[in-house]
């Protein structure tokens, strides 16, 4: 009889322990906030630092990062780095993400008139997401029509060509490393990559806090 009682007590204690562990796991998962960001890179010649520094800033803040490109697969950066795009643009579920971020590089202009890329930027903004772009990528936002009457920056190669893309699409260009106008964040190049990533991470966390 005593053995049966001891056995029952052991089972009860084990059940309490398991429930406690499961409960703690759930609390830890909930504490992560379920933050998600999508980085969009060019099919080739994305800018390595802008991608990796931005990803690092987001992940350090506890934000899960996915990478998309025109098609899924391994993509090569301008400096020889490699990134795995686990999504093609046509497979992106915008609702899953708190932020959609376009990374720069010499390959970015391929997206300037790409219907999927422009729709992704436009729909993300319309759905209230944070939309970021660095280096040449603010041109994507300009062609998507979401920089009209917005203050923004872009990389300047000295010719003014890319600045003109912003202006001709209704943006107010300013010569700053990082510019925030509402939910849109733009940056002008590699020297701004860390600040760019930190700014987006902070905005995601602040935005989620406000929702709660």
Gap between the Cα atoms of 106 and 131, Å rounded: 20
Q: Environment class of residue 209 by beta-carbon count within 10 Å: exposed (0-12), middle (13-18) or buried (19+)?
A: exposed
**Where exactly are the structural domains of the chain?**
1-31, 34-211
The CATH number of the domain covering residues in 34-211: 3.40.50.880
Q: Residues 19-57: pLDDT tens digits?
A: 333 333 222 233 345 899 999 999 999 999 999 999 999
Provide the whole-model pTM.
0.83
The answer to whether residues 146 and 125 touch, using CB atoms and an 8 Å cutoff, is yes
111 vs 135: CA distance, rounded Å? 13
Q: Which residue has the tokens 């992560």?
A: 32
Segments in the chain below pLDDT 70: 1-33, 208-212
The pLDDT value given to residue 70: 97
* pLDDT for res 208: 53
Residue 62, sorted as left (phi over 0), alpha (psi -120 to 50) or beta, turns out to be: left
Q: Could you tell me the sign of the dihedral formed by the alpha carbons of 116, 196, 187, 46, in that order? A: negative
- The CA distance from 125 to 128, in Å, is 5
CB atoms < 10 A from the CB of 70, how many? 21
> For residues 150 and 196, what is the distance between their CA atoms, to the nearest angstrom?
17
């Amino acid at each position: 009889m005593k053995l049966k009682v001891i056995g029952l007590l052991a089972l009860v204690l084990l059940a309490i322990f398991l429930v406690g562990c499961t409960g703690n796991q759930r609390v830890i998962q909930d504490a992560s906030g379920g933050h998600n960001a999508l980085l969009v890179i060019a099919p080739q010649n994305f800018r390595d630092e802008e991608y990796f520094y931005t990803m690092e800033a987001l992940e350090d803040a506890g934000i899960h990062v996915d990478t998309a490109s025109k098609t899924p697969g391994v993509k090569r950066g301008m400096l020889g780095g490699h990134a795995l795009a686990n999504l093609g643009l046509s497979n992106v579920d915008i609702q899953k993400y708190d932020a959609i971020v376009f990374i720069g590089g010499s390959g970015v202009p391929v997206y300037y008139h790409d219907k999927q890329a422009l729709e992704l930027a436009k729909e993300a903004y319309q759905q209230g997401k944070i939309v970021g772009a660095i280096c040449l990528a603010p041109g994507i936002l300009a062609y998507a029509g979401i920089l009209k009457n917005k203050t923004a920056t872009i990389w300047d190669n000295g010719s003014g060509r890319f600045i003109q893309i912003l202006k001709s699409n209704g943006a107010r260009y300013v010569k700053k490393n990082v510019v925030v106008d509402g939910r849109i964040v733009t940056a002008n190049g590699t020297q701004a990559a860390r600040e760019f990533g930190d700014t987006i991470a902070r905005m995601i966390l602040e935005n989620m806090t406000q929702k709660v």
